[in-house]
Amino acid sequence: MIFLSGQPTINLRDSDQSRPFRQRRYFYYLSGVDEPDCSLTYDIEQDLLSLYVPDFDLHRAIWMGPTLSREDAQDRYDVDHVRYHASLKYELQAWLDERKQGSELYLIHDSEKPEHLPKDLPLNLEQLRPAMDTARGVKDEYEIRMIRQANKVSGLAHRRILESIQSMSNESQIEGSFLNTCISHGARNQAYQIIAASGPNAAVLHYDRNNETLNKKPLVCLDAGAEWNCYASDVTRTFPLTGEWPSDYVRDIYKLVERMQDECIRLIRKGTRYLSLHNLAHDIAIEGLLALGVFKNGTIHELRQSGVSKVFFPHGLGHHVGLEVHDVSERSIMAIQRSDELQYRPILNSTCLPPCTLSAPLLEEGMVVTVEPGLYFSPLAMANARHQPYARYIDFDVAEKYVHIGGVRIEDDILVTATGYENLTTAPKGEEMLAIIRGSA
């Protein structure tokens, strides 16, 4: 039997106010229930899914409204039985009394095991999570529909910001506009913290203060994605504030990242090794930075082997998207084979290397992955680079001319199909993006 506990209601420390509710994703995957204080059992042999909802509480119902009732839950969700929480321990005990020899109770986390059960409860904490990770890596039709809808709302929010960016003066207005559009279209939750990074702030990969002026900033890197029925979107656009590139420096970096993304997306199909796309993105970046004079004194192969491109492209090309913005799967799409370690390690940092590197997985039909190349001119990264062996390949005088840009990242969510791919992201980019800012689209 599988037992999973949903997210309980928990108050903030030293407060009578509860934390914002976010359902546990493994629980949601098996139940579809986005309500607090629930749990479930799934009897594998009998193929019976039972949902346990909170016991009725009159005081709570008067103040906050009633919790999910058995009748509503049975009508709303695809489960076999709905019970109140009070009956959970008795039904689990009945299963224990009747279970066959060797039967186990499967859990994701030891901390979520049910109360009031024997200490010698036959728990299995090892097999359920890998099995569910494998299942979640490939999306079914319903899940793809949810991710598509999340992207639709995100696209509307990104478009609205482009339409009004010339009237904005602070990063906070960008964040506020994005939230307003999402909530107005039924997406109350964000898949992750909004990143509205202007100018040099765009060199900080997960910048989220979103409180600085836009005055005299050459561009904004907006990484923001709505959530729909617990399914994420993940979208990044980088754009100038006037609809025109303020300098050749800004335009050249944008065009280079745009090329990195376009060429990688075109190669997505079932059977593609995603890590090869990451490799291609680095080669394009090295070639482009050589042409711009940021790199010097070496061939593309020499620069790649030195690891110098990680100074300006420090993260992986992408990841799975699903119930989490960085969704789970059987194996990371950035995994490498041990035989390929020497080839790929120069372009992978520690955040790209998964714990298991026994095999490099291939893309499968139904996977949804991001393609998000970026180039960043971080003063901290460049200062550190001066002390590395690959410093001889960087023209720091030229690189310094790009620091005011911060960084450029472009990110889309891509569905792997039977014949190639489908781009689920609808947010404008490139020339369409610039035309909207100018008001000519």
pLDDT, residue 347, reads 85
Return the pLDDT at 356: 35
pLDDT computed for residue 350 by the predictor: 57
Tokens describing residue 312: 């300006």
Torsion of CA 353, 261, 289, 171, to 10 degrees: -90
CA dihedral over 198, 201, 207, 211, signed as positive or negative = negative
CA distance 360 to 340: 9
Residue 422, pLDDT score: 98
What's residue 353's pLDDT? 44
Structure tokens belonging to residue 406: 């911060």
Which residue stretches of the chain have pLDDT < 70? 337-342, 350-360, 441
Is-contact 420 266, C-beta < 8 A?
A: no
| Confidence at residue 397, expressed as pLDDT on a 0 to 100 scale | 98
What does each C-alpha distance from 371 to 264, 265, 338 come to in angstroms? 7, 7, 24
